[in-house]
Amino acid sequence: MTENISYDLLIIGGGSAGTTAAIAALDHGASKIGLIEKGLLGGTCTNVGCVPSKSYLRAADLINSNRQAVDYGLFADLSRPDYKAIVEHKNKIVSAMRSAGSKTLEKYDIEIIKEQAVFKDANTLQVGSQILTANNILVASGAKSFIPPIEGVSDVPYLTSTSALSLEKLPESIIIIGGAYIGLEFAAFFHSVGVKTTVIEAAPRPAPNEDQEISSHLATSFEKQGLEFHAGAKVLGVSGDSEIEVKIEKKGEQSRLKGQKVLIATGRVPNLKELGLESAGIKFGRKGIEVNEYLQTSAPSVYAAGDVLSSLQLEHVAVYEGWKAAVNMFSEKKESVDYHVIPRVMFSHPEVASVGETEEQAANRTNVKSVAYPYSGIAMANISGENEGLIKLVADSSTGILLGAHIVGKNAGDLIHLGVMAMQYNIPVDKISGSIAAYPTLAQGFYYAAENLSAKINQS
């Protein structure tokens, strides 16, 4: 056994938080860094999350756009997509992204250690047969799918968000348990490629953490699409093999749903079990590792970032946290984390994006005004045949500063950054509406919404 190999920083996890922290640490004075990753470099996002799922959703988007092509005098048959080709393209993109990440780490001469890490104390890790020590350690080991204690679940061949990306062929039908981000993105893909798709959500509406008006729009859209959605439904049990039966209870009545496959998309939980956190005196709970405003754990030499925390499990949040953790480890001036302006995007059909408070969350404030501007009032939305959607803005009427922005519709994920910039730099809605937006663009809708909200505030 090799002992006492010393580092400035050891990082557990080669995903977005870990790789960002490694590079940021070098920029702030660290010299010897070891990045420990027992699996594939790139973490969840590159390998089994954002990148592969969005490749699938791009295929779904092309299929959905093709359904409108006849309105423009164009004719093509995408009703029977080549699933094998979709998978091959996804694998190509994932491989390229993973390779790019590896080359970046090589460029910075960051040592990659392909082993499992276990804490011996707050400055020492057992990594395979080696004992490694470091002045600082970052835990960024990511998360895994959460499987709720549903009766019979251990006896059925259920899919997770990881295994669903590796199906050899499309099922004829699928039941998705979970109607939030992960579930609705997979529903968008499977429904678009012709799989009979059913979604079950325990909450009374789809995407329950979104603004009520956004959720209502989603529910209406799903009905128009023919996507079967069961809101307010409790899953009582699952059974079967080649055909899965899901027993649910809704409004006091029980029923059974059948599908060739079942996908459990009920969130993710931190990967912490094998790390030996107790040996380092690191406090953690069901939602993740406990940290202070500088991302420092209860063990002063150990920091944590990414999906191991209770913050939003998003790639851009992990990158932000990885960078902040590195700065705080190697700079005299500490920087606290600030989560109040974090955009989130759900690449469902239709797309949803939001930042800040919903109208319901802002209800306890004294001075709040909101408006919802329809896509049907945007020239480009009508030109492109994507006029179903809305842009909702919530503001403090005493200052005109946005408290939140919520969008459902085409390119919502791009448009939301107008709200991000306005909130980040406290730009009041009258200043937003007073600037010029190019015609015809979907971005004009954001300016129209700001103009209407400014007028509403002035009338109060």
Bridge partners, residue 34, by sequence: 10, 111
Work out the pLDDT band at 3, boundaries 50, 70, 90.
low
The single-letter code of the amino acid at 69 is: A
Asked if residue 216 has pLDDT above 70, the reply is yes
Tell me the CATH number for domain 2-144+269-330: 3.50.50.60
Across 177-191, average pLDDT: 98
The predicted-structure confidence for 124-136, as pLDDT tens digits, reads as follows 999 999 999 999 9
Across 294-303, average pLDDT: 98
H/E stretch holding 356 reads strand 352-356
Please report where in the chains the tokens 């960078």 appear, as a residue: 323
Residue 4, number of CB atoms within 10 A of its CB: 9
Task: Write down the pLDDT at residue 69.
Answer: 84
Across 278-307, average pLDDT: 97
The predicted-structure confidence for 238-278, as pLDDT tens digits, reads as follows 999 999 999 999 999 999 999 999 999 999 999 999 999 99
Task: Write down the pLDDT at residue 65.
Answer: 87
- My answer on whether omega of the bond before 350 falls inside 30° of 0, hence cis, is yes
Question: Which residues in the chain are classed under CATH 3.50.50.60?
Answer: 2-144+269-330, 153-266
Tell me the CATH number for domain 350-459: 3.30.390.30
The four Cα atoms 263, 269, 271, 272 give a dihedral, to 10 degrees, of: -150
In CATH, what is the architecture of 153-266? 3-Layer(bba) Sandwich (3.50)
Could you give the CA distance from residue 393 to residue 357 in angstroms, rounded to a whole number? 10
Q: For the chain, what percent of residues have pLDDT higher than 90?
A: 94
Work out the pLDDT band at 309, boundaries 50, 70, 90.
very high
Query: Which of 260, 267, 274, 232 is CA-nearest to residue 126?
Result: 274
Question: Which residues in the chain are classed under CATH 3.30.390.30?
Answer: 350-459
Cα 420–Cα 21–Cα 55 angle in degrees, nearest 5? 60
First to last CA, the chain: 73
**CB burial of residue 426 (10 Å; 0-12, 13-18, 19+):** exposed
Please state whether beta strands 352-356 and 344-346 pair in parallel, antiparallel, or not at all (unpaired): antiparallel
Asked if residue 2 has pLDDT above 70, the reply is no
DSSP, residue by residue, 209-244: TS-HHHHHHHHHHHHHHT-EEEETEEEEEEEESSSE
pTM for the model: 0.96
Residues 6+ apart with CB under 8 A from 292: none
